[in-house]
Structure 1
Amino acid sequence: MPIDAALALAAEPRTGEIAWTAKDVQLYHLGIGAGVPATDPDELRYTLESRLHVLPSFATVAGAGSPGVISGLSMPGVDVDLTRVLHGGQSLTLHRPIPPRGTATATGRIAAVYDKGKAAVLVMRTEVADADGPLWTNDAQIFVRGEGGWGGDRGPSTRSHSRVRSSGGTPTDPPTGEPDKVVERRVREDQALLYRLSGDLNPLHADPEFAKLAGFDRPILHGLCTYGMTLKAVVDTLLGGDVTRVRAYTTRFAGVVYPGETLRIRMWRRDGSVRVAVSAEERDDAPVLADTVVEHC
């Protein structure tokens, strides 16, 4: 069996030093659509070094996201075909606001392995700390098609209608009723080309021929770009533009986005959190992000 769950979970964590500058933060913000209008004071918080605030989802690319998913897929006990790998979900817990520049130690390990029958799910955990203590924890949920069926723990359900859990473990229900806010965000034609400069150079997001081999009509947007665009919309719309209010952010990737499409972002206020659903407007509101929660103070 290509995945040996016991060996993967027992493997020694991989540790590396990461660093980022204000320029890395600005590039990431531009990659998720910040800076429009260019002279808007609210947008200058994301683009001008003298006013720079760091959107927490920057944590997914800081230090080019290493050690991350690709590193995790080469851990002991894991030997998989990358063409069978899908990014299923992402969770982020903030321990402190992210500074505009810094150096830190990132420790990556496989935190869980689930047997879904026709697929295996690996939870890749990256914990990042600097000289002052913990900064953030990232969990990437990775589906590996064709690698389940060994009789292991099935783990939590990932169906869109299932109950989901916040980072603190408290069950929450899918949002119902009219959303408190709906915004639309246009994805630029060159959005994926710009976002990939923050570290994810997968040709699926740039090369039309590669995208066709993967079963898509054309290159698709990075799921983590949609993830960042959505968090920015929530912060700007319901959190007063204050990035430091975000405590945790989790989502399940429910569908693809093509550059040039429009994201429809629906938001429901809850006590200490915002529930979110994201769809592609031009494709009859096809789901893009589901089971999405932004926890805040």
Structure 2
Amino acid sequence: MEMIGSRSEVRRLAWHENEAMLYAIGVGAGLGDPESDLAYTTENTAGITLRALPSFLTILTQGNRPPAMRNLDYGRFLHAQQTIELPRPLAPSGEGWLRNEIVEVLDKGANAIITTLATLSGDEQGENVIGQSRMSTFVRGGGGFGGPRGTARPQAKPDREPDCRVAYGTRPEQALIYRLSGDGHRLHSDPAFARERGFERPILHGLSTYGFACRAIISGTAGGDAHRLRAMSGRFCKPVYPGDTLVTEIWLLAGGHLYFRMLDGGGDAVIDSGQAKLF
């Protein structure tokens, strides 16, 4: 509980078009069909303006962890939930100031969940918000400290067929591509390390899976316009192995709201209780 309120220093950062394009490829854009998704993978195609995927915010806000998390064993971490919010479209290049804070710690018995809120702002004071990223991390063996368990309940899936389904294949080397965007955790590249942690082989980054879902929502419900997607959240419930197929099922709700879930090739949910907002 003493971790709550732990804040990082304010860090200035800049990002460039190449990073936005590399990220897009890391979440499957253009793979297998180079002429698709050119708005995310090229900056020099005639008649097409480069755009950043909204989920690129997760790359910009990674790192700069609060001090209370810096000495923890990251080998025991699993991504539990991710939320992004953007008041306006994210530019493919720019600069800003990043701050990160622990906002919640839950005791789940033998395990724990730590939630951080990262804010990227256009000014050092943090008033001109570019976007916010809320990340919940499942810490194996981190519970038992007597803290609150939490009372939030996931939104139930609509009791009807989805309004659309979008299927994407992942490549066997997908995690090796995605890690070049800054998440070099050995769980996604080192076979021996992955086996020691109970996995058959290196798994795909949860945030790469999240980016595939972002692309599916934009393609399936936003007419391919990334600028329309301004908020998105989802709970990770099963690891994905590179090379698997990912199917995103989407339900249209009132007021531009969406419910979604993502299934792997075997039909098991890998992201559930997903919500998004279109403008």
2:272 maps to 1:279: no
Q: Which residue of 2 aligns with 1:265?
A: 248
Q: Which residue of 1 aligns with 2:27?
A: 32
What amino acid sits opposite 1:210 in the alignment? F
Give identity over the alignment, percent.
Answer: 35
The answer to whether the 8 A contact 1:18-1:66 is kept is no
User: Which of 100, 104, 129 is equivalent to 2:92?
Assistant: 100
Q: Which residue of 1 aligns with 2:78?
A: 86
The answer to whether the 8 A contact 2:28-2:212 is kept is yes
Q: TM-score, normalised by structure 2?
A: 0.91
> What number of residue pairs does the alignment pair up?
270
The answer to whether the 8 A contact 2:27-2:209 is kept is yes
What amino acid sits opposite 1:287 in the alignment? A
2:115 maps to 1:138: no
2:273 maps to 1:294: no
Q: Which residue of 1 aligns with 2:189?
A: 206
| Structure 1 segment 22-61 matched on structure 2, within 5 A | 22-36=17-31, 37-40=33-36, 43-50=37-44, 51-61=49-59
- Consecutive unaligned residues of structure 1, counting only runs of 5 or more, are 165-172
Q: Give the Cα–Cα distance (whole angstroms) in 2 for the partners of residues 12 and 192 of structure 1.
A: 30
The answer to whether the 8 A contact 2:89-2:230 is kept is no
| Structure 1 segment 63-74 matched on structure 2, within 5 A | 65-67=62-64, 71-72=65-66, 74=67
Q: Give the Cα–Cα distance (whole angstroms) in 2 for the partners of residues 258 and 192 of structure 1.
A: 9
2:164 maps to 1:181: yes
User: Which of 59, 62, 80 is equivalent to 2:60?
Assistant: 62
State the SS of the aligned residue for 1:127: strand
Of 144-153 and 194-203, the range deviating more from structure 2: 144-153
1:206 deviation in Å?
1.2
Q: Give the Cα–Cα distance (whole angstroms) in 1 for the partners of residues 7 and 274 of structure 2.
A: 31
- Consecutive unaligned residues of structure 2, counting only runs of 5 or more, are none
State the SS of the aligned residue for 1:174: coil
| Structure 1 segment 229-268 matched on structure 2, within 5 A | 229-268=212-251
State the SS of the aligned residue for 2:57: helix
Q: 1:156 to 1:19 in 2, by over 3 A?
A: farther
CA deviation vs aligned residue, 1:87-108 (integer Å, no higher than 9, x gap):
1111111122111111100001
Q: Considering only aligned residues, what root-mean-square deviation do their CA atoms show, in Å?
A: 1.8
Q: Give the Cα–Cα distance (whole angstroms) in 1 for the partners of residues 83 and 151 of structure 2.
A: 14
Q: TM-score, normalised by structure 1?
A: 0.86
What amino acid sits opposite 2:40 in the alignment? Y
Q: Which residue of 2 aligns with 1:163?
A: 154
Q: Give the Cα–Cα distance (whole angstroms) in 2 for the partners of residues 147 and 256 of structure 1.
A: 20
